[in-house]
Amino acid sequence: MRKQRSIAVGAAVAAVALALTGCSGNNDGGSAGGGDGKSLTVWLMQDTLTEASQKAVVDQFQAQTGATVKVEIQQWDNINTKLTTALATDNPPDVVEIGNTDVPLFAANGALADLTSDKKDLEGSNTWLKGLEGPATVDGKLYAAPFYAGTRSVIYNMDMWSKAGVTAAPKSYTELLTDLDKVKATNSAADFSAFYLPGTYWYNALSFLYDAGGALAQQSGSNWKGQLETSQSQQGLQDFKDFENKYSTSASRTAPMDTPNPTDLFATGKTATVMGNGNAVKTIEQSNPKLVGHVGSFPFPSKADPGKNMPNFLGGSDIAIATKSKNPKLALQFVKFIGSDDIQVKQVAEASGHVPVSDQLIEQVVKTLPDDLKSFYEGAKLSISTPATPGWATIESDASVTDFFSQIAAGTKTPQQAGADFDKHLNDALNAS
């Protein structure tokens, strides 16, 4: 998943000093040594690791293995085309970072090494986030290891909520609705929304779907089948429609996700609440410095399971080994190393500001975070993923998933009609060879 993948934890950057000075050689994430005279080429994406973190990772791995590591930073634009070409050559990059929902594309054509038998040796693999592990597991085989996650939470203007008589974040779905009713009642402007949520915002719409026990699709054997006509999915779709229609503006039902940009609406007081990642908090406060210290966040509460949050669709990256790597054993050592607890906590989370790859690491990291950012980590522990099949790329690229939820929000199709039509499209796309 390439968009909105990271959380920039500005207030947690104080941990950078710890990240740089605390990298001991005690945890090698695999067998130390064995790399003398060998080299690895590693493709990482822009802004995944800070420059200092990247250097710390490379220096420590080289010291432990005796190998030489060359990191090449890639841009997200057209990366799948570039990866396809590079992985097909006889001299590909050895280790590559891939957007989590894109892993099936490369697994299907044999470009990625099968890591299934190595999973048990990958640190923390028994508590990996499902939203990262799921897309990397194709037909029961693991083709990449989780690298980091980015997630979304509810972001709210604490002053607006306080003026409406709400002084604490809601702990349940019922409380959320009650609070939003109060916020809505105190702001009567036609262009104001208590909770701005575009109908095309499929990331959050999926949370409603899965919270009700529904699903996009399920796999049976080698075939995928759309599940949007089931009673559970229909309930989730209706819940999404009801919520969006009541608390967002009518214009938002067909509006693109970023036009207008929800953070701009928030910063200018046109809405009291939005969905966003940790970067959104920083962006809002930069746009309107008066909001610094007045922006709060919390995971979206579950309707079906009071006291918990809705399942969260994760952005993020996995890390994989090229099938044609000249040094596959050394590449595996690097994958183990970069997924080790030490690197995940100090370099991926504390220094670079991403959600680490497992529940246990989230519990460790969240203790160091300011209150307004904790929800972005807590919410990642209950996650969902898109279908682990190359056909999902079609669904994202043809914008049919955004059209689907927008049609429901706008009422141009009933949830039943939209579900039946989209199931047909899912069946065709997800099972295409």
Structure tokens at 32: 């130390």
- Residue 321 domain-assigned (yes or no): yes
Counting residues of the chain whose pLDDT is more than 90, the rounded percentage is: 86
Nearest to 136 by CA among 407, 311, 349, 386: 386
- Residue 5 domain-assigned (yes or no): no
- The residue behind tokens 């899912």 is 426
If one compares 5 and 38, the residue with the highest pLDDT of the two is: 38
Rounded to an integer, what distance in angstroms lies between the CA atom of residue 422 and that of residue 416?
Answer: 10
Residue 70's DSSP bridge partners are 41
Please tell me the predicted confidence (pLDDT) of residue 363.
Answer: 93
Per-residue DSSP letters for 285-323? HHH-GGGTT-EEEEPPBPSSSTTSB--EE-EEEEEEEBT
Q: State whether 177 and 227 are in the same domain.
A: yes
Q: Is the pLDDT of residue 24 over 50?
A: no
Per-residue DSSP letters for 96-164? EEEEGGGHHHHHHTT-B---GGGGGGSTTGGGB-HHHHHHHEETTEE--EEEEEE--EEEEEHHHHHHT
Q: State whether 134 and 159 are in the same domain.
A: no
- Residue 169 domain-assigned (yes or no): yes
Q: Is the pLDDT of residue 310 over 50?
A: yes
Q: What is the pLDDT of residues 193-222, one digit of tens each?
A: 999 999 999 999 999 999 999 999 999 998
Please, are residues 352 and 147 in contact by the beta-carbon 8 Å criterion? no
Q: What is the pLDDT of residues 56-102, one digit of tens each?
A: 999 999 999 999 999 999 999 999 999 999 999 999 999 999 999 99
Please tell me the predicted confidence (pLDDT) of residue 278.
Answer: 82
Residue 148's DSSP bridge partners are 317
Q: State whether 301 and 366 are in the same domain.
A: no
Please, are residues 250 and 258 in contact by the beta-carbon 8 Å criterion? no
Per-residue DSSP letters for 346-411? IIIIIIT--B-SBHHHHHHHHTTS-HHHHHHHHGGGSEE---SSTTHHHHHHTTHHHHHHHHHHHT
Q: State whether 426 and 278 are in the same domain.
A: yes
Q: State whether 142 and 288 are in the same domain.
A: no
Q: State whether 167 and 234 are in the same domain.
A: yes
Please tell me the predicted confidence (pLDDT) of residue 111.
Answer: 97
Rounded to an integer, what distance in angstroms lies between the CA atom of residue 414 and that of residue 28?
Answer: 55
Q: State whether 229 and 361 are in the same domain.
A: no
Q: Tell me the residue range of the domain where 343 lies.
A: 10-151+314-384
Q: State whether 123 and 203 are in the same domain.
A: no
Rounded to an integer, what distance in angstroms lies between the CA atom of residue 164 and that of residue 136?
Answer: 45
Query: Predicted confidence band at 25 (pLDDT cuts at 50, 70, 90)?
Result: very low
Calculate ∠ Cα 270-276-277, nearest 5°.
Answer: 145
- Residue 326 domain-assigned (yes or no): yes
Number of domains forming the structure of the chain:
2
Query: Predicted confidence band at 223 (pLDDT cuts at 50, 70, 90)?
Result: very high
- Residue 3 domain-assigned (yes or no): no
**The domain that contains 265 carries what CATH number?**
3.40.190.10
Q: Is the pLDDT of residue 32 over 70?
A: no
Query: Predicted confidence band at 301 (pLDDT cuts at 50, 70, 90)?
Result: very high
Q: State whether 278 and 402 are in the same domain.
A: yes
- Residue 122 domain-assigned (yes or no): yes
Q: State whether 95 and 235 are in the same domain.
A: no
Please tell me the predicted confidence (pLDDT) of residue 371.
Answer: 85
- Residue 4 domain-assigned (yes or no): no
Q: What is the pLDDT of residues 382-405, one digit of tens each?
A: 999 999 999 999 999 999 999 999
Amino acid at 306: P
Please, are residues 347 and 16 in contact by the beta-carbon 8 Å criterion? no
Q: State whether 26 and 146 are in the same domain.
A: yes
Structure tokens at 67: 């190998």
What mean pLDDT is reported for the chain?
91
Q: State whether 298 and 328 are in the same domain.
A: no
Q: What is the pLDDT of residues 331-369, one digit of tens each?
A: 999 999 999 999 999 999 999 989 999 999 999 999 988
Amino acid at 346: K
Residue 42: φ, ψ to 5°: -120, 125
Averaged pLDDT for residues 36-42: 90
- Residue 1 domain-assigned (yes or no): no
> What does the DSSP 8-state code read for residue 74?
E
Query: Predicted confidence band at 35 (pLDDT cuts at 50, 70, 90)?
Result: confident
